[in-house]
Amino acid sequence: MAPDRQNRNTAVFLGVLALAGVCNLFTRSAAPFVGTLMFCLNFVLYAGLLLFWLRSVRERLLPTKARSYIIAAGLLMLGYLLLRVIKYRAVLNVPAPSRYAVYAYWTPQILIPTLFLMLCLRIRRGEDGRGARNEWLLLIPACALALMVMTNDLHGFVYRPRVAVADFFFVAESYTLGPGFYLLYAWMGLTAAAGLFLLLMTGRRSARDVLPLLGLVALWFALIECCMLFLNRYKLPVFFNIPDIHIFCMLGFLEICIRRRLIPYNENYTGFFSALELPVLITDRALHPVYETNAPLPATPGQLRASLSSPLYLQTDTRLSGMPLGAGYVFWTEDETALHRERRRLDEANELLSEENELITVENELREKQAHLDAQDRVYDRIAAALCPKQKQIKALLAAHEPGTPAFSRALGLCCVLNAWSKRKSNLLLLSDEELPQPNRELFLALQDSARFLKYCGVEAAAMGEEYSALPLPAIHALYDAFETIVEASLPALKRMTVSITRDGVRLAIETDALPPLPETGLKTERRDSEGYVFLTLHAPEGEVAQ
């Protein structure tokens, strides 16, 4: 809105307000017809001013929570005026309706300051600010206070009638004020003061912003005091009643906040936005257009909704995009003609390079296959190097004993144990640290296989206890090799044996008459002998124990 138009509207508004005040002077005319006519004209002018202001607020502010709170407060002001008509003109001498009109008269007085505090909280946090947006919780005590007034007939907490409730309609000396009455004024005063404090403390405010607000607040209180202490006390004619002062001072307060941009203000944004040649559209949450540029955006609501999740092509070279924006959405289109032209040029260049790319791909595949074969060869070489001594030992055992003899049976049992070790050792060598899950059962399965085949050597053996361990692969190799070395060395003296996994190694319990000296395994070994049993604990190498 241009400054001249804004000033003209302000002048017209104040002129109509002054006319309404003149009408209010004649509402107490001795002629009933004139008084009633002036009262109705006063109400119509007030209602028209409020509706005019609410319409301007709806146009000037973006569809945010702050605008919703202002509009709700304006509608409550309109209801405040309507309740005054009902209270003083419609049900003046009828006890029950008159009483409930006074009770209902409190509802806008309670809710308007509450909405003002909610508005100030929203302005301080911002529409997109982080943090809990729970200012609506203030409506709970406000509604509870309004309900307390409406149910006064049940408890008399606000007004205490001195006559029967059925005959009570606020005539002089017929009631006293209860504590709830002062609670209502405390709530209204505290919410209004808290809102004013938050508004003035939000951001950096210059004296140019603050002084008009403080001046209006001072004028507000001066008018109220003048009416209460002088005009009403001596029953003098007044331009404005106290409710009128409250309503239009609050309206003026909000208007100053908008014009000083204490409340986000989009004056003339519509004209500025519509003059743009870019195809852009801003809508509310229901996809109703709020701002639209001169360049049309030909899309259906369904297409707009779909573009919020992913870009949508309206035409071959026209891409529609959308994203959330404050209390609505923004949509725009982009012409990708040049982009598609450059893309076609790249496609042509890619065709020229495709043959070379294919040759490079084939060469890379051959290299990968060769690298894979080389890695397999290294693994198989490592397996062959590890198993070759055992296989030679098995071959020598079978060649040194005649089949059918007791010595051959014992040698065959040892060959079974050696074959079990070879099988499990090859499985472990095929693993890598990346392929080994944590925790795993590889060590337990290897020990279990070796223990199972010891029965062919006349030894009762078993793997017991926890099956899973978090030992790394090098520690598993070292522990299993040490176990096999000890078993082979002590096999002639073994009777029974159990083996289990500990957190950092392997524990063996061996029943034997006399265990020969143990060979060196390269691992830290703890030994304890007790009544024909030998308890051995093999510890994994330092630095290879899972933490």
pLDDT digits (tens, 9 = 90+) for 222-279: 887 787 777 766 667 777 777 888 888 888 888 888 877 777 665 555 555 666 667 8
CA pair distance 321, 236, nearest whole angstrom: 65
Residue 337 exposure: Cα atoms within 13 Å on the Cβ side: 1
Which tens digit of pLDDT belongs to each residue from 179-236? Answer: 998 999 899 889 988 888 887 776 556 667 678 878 888 888 788 778 777 776 666 7
What global pTM score does this model have? 0.51
Neighbours of 214 (CB within 10 A): 12
Residue 220: its H or E element: helix 207-226
Q: Work out whether the CA dihedral 82, 88, 91, 97 comes out positive or negative.
A: positive
- 299 with 319: CB under 8 angstroms? no
Residue among 328, 329, 331, 330 nearest 65 (CA): 328
Phi, psi of 270 (to 5 degrees): -60, -50
Q: How would DSSP label each residue in 361-396?
A: HHHHHHHHHHHHHHHHHHHHHHHHHHHHHHHHHHHH
Which helix (H) or strand (E) segment is 511 a member of? strand 505-512
Per-residue pLDDT of the chain (547 residues; tens, 9 = 90+): 555 667 788 888 888 888 888 887 887 777 878 878 888 888 898 889 899 989 888 877 777 788 888 899 989 999 888 888 887 777 767 778 888 888 888 899 899 999 988 888 887 777 655 544 678 888 999 999 999 999 998 888 988 888 888 778 777 778 888 899 899 989 988 998 888 888 777 655 666 767 887 888 888 878 877 877 777 666 677 777 778 888 888 888 888 888 777 776 655 555 556 666 678 888 888 888 877 777 777 788 888 888 888 888 877 778 888 888 767 888 888 877 888 788 888 888 888 888 777 777 777 887 777 766 666 666 666 666 666 777 776 676 666 666 766 767 666 667 777 777 777 777 767 777 667 778 888 878 888 888 887 787 877 888 888 888 888 878 888 887 888 888 877 777 777 888 888 888 888 888 877 777 777 877 888 888 877 788 888 888 876 555 4
